[in-house]
Amino acid sequence: MSSPVNIICMKWGRLYGADYVNHLRAGVARHLKRPHRFVCFTDDASGLGTDVEVQPLPALGLPDGKNDRRWQKLAVFRKGFGGLSGTTLFLDLDLVVVDSIDAFFEHPGRFLIIRDDDLFRHKPLRKLNPARDRFLHSVGNSSVFRYEIGEHADILDAYLADPAAAMATYEISQQFQSAQLARRGLLEYWPKGWCVSFKNDCVPRGVRSWLREPAVPAGARIVVFAGTPKMSEVLAGGGHKWYRRIGDVRWLHEAWGA
């Protein structure tokens, strides 16, 4: 039998309700065969299902009043985080599992993450600043990443050593995280197509969106709602633009369990 693994997520504030955690937990249960713990770190456990293991939202380790929730995910790199050990897959709440995720624990690598550029359309104007373009092309999107508990404590340590400098240099925590990993030669990416963008990969582009319905691309395992529209908008029948129709998404309702 395969060794047990950890699936973890975080919920704080009011942006995502308990239903996001419960639906994510159900999707993982449907699509992960190996034994696992599903742990939600949160500041409000109300409404969470009995099959969700709950732990308090971890403190980053900054002085009182200095914590910045935009950098909250870095807390997962603390040694002994949550009393867990071993291989761990972090999942954001604003995504849906659509196929087997066992491969996320089988793919070789010490740290694996989505390449952020794989979720978005090409940005030709970025070429005007080649150095910036190269860096942004290397950044990992932290919606889905795998690591070993305690193995990358230096990421959190580097942030805590000078959080002001980190926030002045990097726009968001995933940029800082990626830069730290790249310096050690540990930044690796999931195979392209495993994690896809709803807006850019599932919804046909331009006029084609009026002719064809959104669909999950072949080989996709997780659909990520990067940018807008958010999953809540789409599930409620919204998210349309004058240049983009979002058609029949019954598959999304089924995959999310709505």
pLDDT in tens, the chain (258 residues): 578 999 999 999 989 999 999 999 999 999 999 999 999 999 999 999 999 999 999 988 776 656 677 899 999 999 999 999 999 999 999 999 999 999 999 999 999 999 999 999 888 788 888 888 888 899 999 999 999 999 999 999 999 999 999 999 999 999 999 999 999 999 999 999 999 999 999 999 989 999 999 999 999 999 999 989 999 999 999 999 989 999 999 999 999 985
Q: What is the pLDDT of residue 75?
A: 95
Where would I find the H helices in the chain?
18-31, 130-138, 153-161, 163-169, 173-183, 231-235, 250-256
Residues contacting 26, CB < 8 A, separation 6+? 257
- Global model pTM greater than 0.85: yes
At 57, the amino acid letter reads: L
The CA distance from 64 to 77, in Å, is 20
Rg (CA), the chain: 18
Residues contacting 188, CB < 8 A, separation 6+? 109, 110, 111, 112, 113
* Cis preceding-peptide flag for 108 (omega within 30 of 0): no
